[in-house]
Structure 1
Amino acid sequence: MSTEPDHSPGLRLMELLDLLTRHAKPLALPEVMALTGWPKPTVHRMLAQLEGGGWLDREPDGRRYAMAPRLLRMAESALSNSTQQGVRHAVLRQLVNEVGESCNLTAMSGAEVVYLDRVESAFPLRLELRAGTRVPVHCSASGKLFLAWMATRQRRALLDGLVLTRYTAHTLTERKALEAELAAIRRDGFSVDAEEFVEGLVCVAVPVFAPGQRTVRCALALQAPAARMSLLQARLQLPRLQVAAQALARTLG
C-alpha cells in the first residue's frame, strides 16, 4: 500500500484490519503509517474508530494496537465455519483413527485457548470438550505452544497480567519454571501437558504454521487418559501429528 485508499470508509477499515491481523505483533501508529503509506490523520482516525468499536485494544504501553476479543471471536467463527472446515475435520478424524485417541484443533483467543474442532476417540473413558470450549493458556499443551511462539514483548505483557492458577499438583505456577518450559518448547517444536490442567489427562501439541511462514495460526493436539496412554507413548505419536499439522496448514490459506 502506498496511497490513501479511495474506496468506501467501511472497506478502508476492513483493509486496515486485514493488515493488522496479518502481523504477529501489536503495531504502533507510525508502524501502521509505514505499512499503509496513508496520512497520519487518516490512520489515527481509523485506529480510533476500530478501538471505539471494540475491534482493537490498546497495549499497556498505550502506543500499540492489538486485536481485541471481539475481533478474535469473529476470526474464530470465520475459521470454524469456512468451506475448509469439512477438510480440517476429515484430517482430524483420520488422525484419531491412526493414533486411537481424541485430537483437537485450537486457536489463541485473548489469554485463553479456544477449541475450533475436536474428534473424540471411540473409547468410553474420555473427556468430551466441544468446539468453543476455552481452556487456560499456561497449563494446556496448546496454550504453552502459543506462548512459546509469541513475540517476547507480547508474551511478557500477557504473562504480567495473568494469574498462574493451580489446577492440579502438576500445574506450573512459578513464572520462572513456565518460562523455562516455553524455551524448551521453542527448541523442540512441540508442547506437552503432563496432567497440568486435568488430573489423569495427558496431551501433546504441535504448531500449525501459516502457509510459507513461521507464524503459528493454530495448534493440533492429541489428548488421552494417562491410564490408557502414557505421556511417553503420546510423544511417540509426534510424527503423525506433524504430518496432520502440515495437511491442516494447507487449508488455512
Structure 2
Amino acid sequence: MIQSVERAMEILEILKGSPKGMGVSEIANQLGVAKSTAHRLLMTLESGSYVRKVGKDSLYCLGLKFLEMNQVVVDSLNVVEIARPHLEKLSKESGEIVHLVMLDGNELLYIDKVENSSTIRIYSQIGKRAALYCTGVGKAILAKYDEEQLDDYINHNSFHKYTEYTLTTPEELKTTLKEVRNNGFAFDNQEHEIGIRCVAAAVFDSSRKAKYGISITGPVSRMIDQHLETYIPKLTETADNISRQLGYRK
C-alpha cells in the first residue's frame, strides 16, 4: 500500500514537469514499472480528479483538483506570520520602523509594525488606514496598476493636502509613479507627516497582484540618502522574499 502511494506521488511529480501531458507508456518507463501498473495508478488518480486526460491522444496531465487545493493553501497563508521574521530582520538592519500594509479598497490598512529602541513615535498604528497617493507603500502599490486601474483610482479619490509636500494633482502622481516603476521602490518625502520619510516596496501574492507593501520609516534626520543607499537593496530583497513565500512567481 505504501509503495502504491509513493508511486502515485512520483506520477504527480512527473506530470508537474510535463504540462502538455504524457502517455501511459512514457509514465511507466519513468517509474520503472509495468504499463498495467501505471495505468491502474492513473485510473485511481483520475477518479479523484488528481489527473485528467487531454487531447486526442488521451495524454495524462495534472487534474483540476490541484486548482482547488491551491486556493485552500493560499487562503490559509497568514501574511503577518510569514512576513514577521523578515520585518524584524529589516528593522534590525536599518534601525528604523518597518511596516507591513495591506491594500483594502482604495486605502491602506496597517497590519504589522516592527519598532526598536531607536525609533520615534509616528502616526502609524496597526489597524489604522492611510491614503495611497501620499504614502510610500501606497505609491509602490499604485505603480503596479495598469492605466485603466490608475485612472479609476484617480477619478474616485480626492487629493487632500496633508503637508506642504503632498502630491495634490493626478499629473504629479502619474509622474511620480513612472519613477517608481523605473526604480522598483517608492518614497514618502514628508508627504503624510512632517519630519517623517520612508522608502517602500510592493509585495505580491500568488495571483501576481500587489496586495501588500512594506516600508522602512524614520525621521528625515536619519533617513538621509547615504543611509537609503544601503536600505533600498535590503528592502527590495525582503519584499521579494515575502512575495515568494506568499506563492508569487514571476
Interval containing the TM-score (normalised by the shorter chain): 0.5 to 0.7
Matched, 1:216 2:213: no
Q: Map 1:1-253 onto structure 2 (within 5 A).
A: 82-83=77-78, 85-123=80-118, 125-127=120-122, 129-211=124-206, 214-231=208-225, 233-253=227-247
Partner of 1:32: none
1:57-115 alpha-carbon deviations (Å, 9 max, x no partner): xxxxxxxxxxxxxxxxxxxxx98x95553332111111101111000111211121111
Partner of 1:15: none
Query: Is the alpha carbon distance of 1:100 and 1:200 closer, same or farther for their aligned partners in structure 2, counting shifts above 3 Å?
Result: same
Aligned partners of 2:96 and 2:119 also within 8 Å: no
User: Distance between the aligned counterparts of 2:218 and 2:190, measured in 1?
Assistant: 10
Offset of residue 245 of structure 1: 1.2
Give the number of equivalent residue pairs: 174
1:37-61 alpha-carbon deviations (Å, 9 max, x no partner): xxxxxxxxxxxxxxxxxxxxxxxxx
Offset of residue 175 of structure 1: 1.5
Q: Secondary structure at the match of 1:149?
A: coil
Residue type matched to 1:222 in 2? I
Residue type matched to 1:121 in 2? N
Residue type matched to 2:227 in 1? Q
Aligned partners of 1:202 and 1:231 also within 8 Å: no
Offset of residue 177 of structure 1: 1.1
Q: Please provide the CA RMSD for this pair.
A: 2.2
Offset of residue 128 of structure 1: 5.8
Q: Secondary structure at the match of 1:236?
A: helix
Unaligned runs of 5+ in 2: 1-73
Offset of residue 129 of structure 1: 2.4
Mark the structure with the bigger radius of gyration: 2
Residue type matched to 2:212 in 1? C
User: Distance between the aligned counterparts of 2:154 and 2:176, measured in 1?
Assistant: 14
Unaligned runs of 5+ in 1: 1-77
Aligned partners of 1:114 and 1:134 also within 8 Å: yes
Q: Secondary structure at the match of 1:144?
A: helix
Query: Is the alpha carbon distance of 1:189 and 1:89 closer, same or farther for their aligned partners in structure 2, counting shifts above 3 Å?
Result: same
Query: Is the alpha carbon distance of 1:204 and 1:122 closer, same or farther for their aligned partners in structure 2, counting shifts above 3 Å?
Result: same
Offset of residue 214 of structure 1: 5.0
Aligned partners of 1:168 and 1:198 also within 8 Å: yes
Query: Given the two structures, how large is their TM-score scaled by the length of structure 1?
Result: 0.63
Offset of residue 121 of structure 1: 2.7
Aligned partners of 1:126 and 1:224 also within 8 Å: no
Offset of residue 246 of structure 1: 2.0
User: Distance between the aligned counterparts of 1:90 and 1:105, measured in 2?
Assistant: 12
Q: Secondary structure at the match of 2:126?
A: coil
